[in-house]
Amino acid sequence: MEKDITIYDIARELNLSPTTISRALNDHPAVNKKTKQRISDAAAQMGYRSNFFASNLRKQHTNTIGLIVPRLDSPFHSAVISGIEKVLNEEGYNLIISQSLETFQKEKSNAKTMFDSRVDGLLVSLSFETEDLQHFEPFINRGIPVVFYDRVAEHRNCTNIVIDNLQAAHKATSHLIEQGCTNIVHITGNLKRNVYADRLKGFKYALLDHGLPFSEDQVILGEMTEAAGQKAASQILAMSPRPDGIFVSNDTCAVSCIKALKQAGLSVPQDIAVIGFNNDAISRVIEPNLTTITNPGQEMGEVAVKVLLLQINGTGERIPGNTINLRSELIVRESSLKSKAKSKKKSVLA
């Protein structure tokens, strides 16, 4: 195996001092252009590779950002990563990505790996299981910024980037009620996480505001996967009376649920109206197209990393408070338009 070429090897080859070689390779003005070119040519010919990592350590930074996501196969987190990389590419930073697979222990291990890799800052969307934030204290104690996004937890030294999940869920549930739904089920995830806890609150408040009762039987908890959508559909089909509306906390689970309901012979939205969450591409492919709430993944990624870079560069005072709320909206499509479906049926019968 060939050994790495160093500046000392180039210095010996050209009979120059290592200091001159180092300065030339870093484009120092003290070295004239002719000598710089000579050194650059020799370095290329000898196969010299600059050790950017060691160089950056001497400068006390690595130009590397760490990112911990719950799952890499999530369309939402893919959009977030796209936003993060867009900004980091423009700023000359690298990104290390890991996934917790929804477990606290894996998230804890990922955090240690990021810390040992000397990342300049850390972006995190918390796992289903995380309750204790102690594994992020080494970063905070060293002055390494940590920014939480989407799935967040309160920490006085960390910034959270979110949407108003409670308001979004209230809007989605109210829309179903306005379409004539009176028996609505909410499919959601682990209530330890702010996103699911807040969406459940919004669901409850909407029922209350419209004079409809709430029962724990109306809430189905799951992993928010395709399999969870199929399982939820089986539970809904077994309910008596059967629900006439469903509000689901993500699009993947909602689409899977719709497919299972249709296979069982139900019509959407005539028999049961459905709303998802996130506005993933799959919401525009399923038939009927899925009504959903926008969760601006790319924008969230861009904002989160811009906040992180401000803190890395010591300009965190520009950040307005510990929580930044991004805008979301209800996108109405055919899957929830129960009143329109009824009108269409009447016109056909006439």
Residues 287 and 232 in one domain: yes
Sheet hosting strand 323-326, strand order edge to edge: 94-99, 64-69, 121-124, 146-149, 159-163, 323-326
Tell me, yes or no, whether 52 lies in a domain.
no
Tell me, yes or no, whether 50 lies in a domain.
no
Lowest mean pLDDT among 25-34, 217-226, 287-296, 308-317: 308-317
Q: What is the pLDDT of residue 4?
A: 73
pLDDT > 90: what percent of the chain? 77
Rounded Cα distance, 239 and 243, in Å: 7
Residues 188 and 109 in one domain: no
Q: Two tokens at 299? A: 């924008």
Banded model confidence at residue 47, pLDDT cuts 50, 70, 90: confident
Q: What is the pLDDT of residue 51?
A: 61
Residues 237 and 123 in one domain: no
Tell me, yes or no, whether 82 lies in a domain.
yes
Tell me, yes or no, whether 57 lies in a domain.
no
Residues 172 and 232 in one domain: yes
Contact 150, 299 (CB under 8 A): no
Residues 237 and 92 in one domain: no
DSSP reduced 3-state for 124: strand
Residues 178 and 283 in one domain: yes
Tell me, yes or no, whether 347 lies in a domain.
no
- What's the domain range around 24? 7-41
Domain count, the chain: 3
Residues 285 and 170 in one domain: yes
Contact 338, 179 (CB under 8 A): yes
Q: Is the pLDDT confidence value at 16 over 50? A: yes
Tell me, yes or no, whether 300 lies in a domain.
yes
Q: Two tokens at 55? A: 């160089």
What CATH number corresponds to the domain at position 252?
3.40.50.2300
Lowest mean pLDDT among 46-60, 190-204, 209-223, 297-311: 46-60
Residues 158 and 193 in one domain: no
Residues 138 and 193 in one domain: no
Residues 184 and 200 in one domain: yes
Residues 157 and 91 in one domain: yes
The three state secondary structure string of 133-200 is: CHHHHHHHHCCCCEEEECCCCCCCCCEEEEECHHHHHHHHHHHHHHCCCCCEEEEECCCCCHHHHHHH
Please give the mean pLDDT across all residues of the chain. Answer: 91
Residues 145 and 71 in one domain: yes
Q: What is the pLDDT of residue 349?
A: 41
Contact 2, 48 (CB under 8 A): no
**Which tens digit of pLDDT belongs to each residue from 237-290?**
999 999 999 999 999 999 999 999 999 999 999 999 999 999 999 999 999 999
pLDDT > 70: what percent of the chain? 91
- Its pTM stands at 0.80
Most confident among 14-18, 39-43, 216-220, 319-323 (mean pLDDT): 216-220
Tell me, yes or no, whether 344 lies in a domain.
no
Banded model confidence at residue 321, pLDDT cuts 50, 70, 90: low
Lowest mean pLDDT among 26-35, 58-67, 130-139: 58-67
> Mean per-residue pLDDT for 225-247?
96
Tell me, yes or no, whether 231 lies in a domain.
yes
Whether the upstream peptide bond of residue 241 has omega within 30° of 0, thus cis, is: yes
Rounded Cα distance, 86 and 82, in Å: 6
